[in-house]
Amino acid sequence: MFTRSPSASKTLPREYRSVADKLFPPKGFSAGKGPSINTVESFAKVLGIGEDYKRLWDIYKSGQATGEFLNRFQNNLDLLIQKTWVEKSDEARKEVLLDKVPPFISLIENSNYSRALEEFGAILEELAYLFFGVQSHKDDFSQYVLRIDAQLGLFWWYGGQINAGRGAPWIKDVDRNIHYALLLIGICYLTNF
């Protein structure tokens, strides 16, 4: 899941592939380029969070505070992590992940969206491990989750693309609004999970 390959989107159902390839093209972005805001919004709709995404995007664009929403996101993410059943040997992973959430939220609150996006990739990778165990590190992870639920599989595909983009030139060079928009997809999805 968390390795990016040119054929990664080929595992997605046809109805998702078009918008997914626009969000994260199979050959990647050139430095300084990224998806458009419209592409991100289209992806949010396909993921089933279009209304929440649009409402929060409008709040962000108007300059209003999103603290209440971030608080709900953090509470829900903490609950997801705490309530996830894992082997006794993986309990420490849960604690480490719980400790990563407040600094991640601080990055968003301080408008450091580029760094927050990189941290979010690591959080999603660890969260996938807590949910799915070692299966999350197998090459067929996307196909596995897509068989469980198509939108859930699409979300974890998005997570893999975010994580694979950590440190990529386009992540650092693209407009901060794109960083926030990409973050907002995952935040909306996990808040409603």
Give the C-alpha separation, 181 to 61, whole Å. 11
Residue pair 153/142 in contact by the 8 Å Cβ criterion: yes
| Cα 82 from Cα 191, distance rounded (Å) | 15
Question: Which pTM does this prediction carry?
Answer: 0.88
Q: Where are the alpha helices (DSSP H) in the chain?
A: 14-23, 37-46, 50-61, 67-83, 91-109, 113-132, 141-148, 150-164, 169-173, 176-191
Mean pLDDT of 20-40: 82
Rounded CA separation 133/131 (Å): 6
Question: Would the CA dihedral through 87, 154, 9, 180 be positive or negative?
Answer: negative
Query: Residue 170 — pLDDT band, cuts 50, 70, 90?
Result: low
Task: Specify the higher pLDDT residue, 49 or 89.
Answer: 49
Residue 183 has pLDDT above 50, yes or no: yes
Q: Report the pLDDT value the prediction gives residue 102, as an integer from 0 to 100.
A: 96
Tokens of 172: 């650092």
93-138 pLDDT per residue, tens: 999 999 999 999 999 999 999 899 989 999 999 999 999 999 999 9
Domain boundaries, the chain: 18-191
Residue range 77-98: mean pLDDT, rounded: 89
Q: What is the pLDDT of residue 74?
A: 94
pLDDT at 9 over 70: no
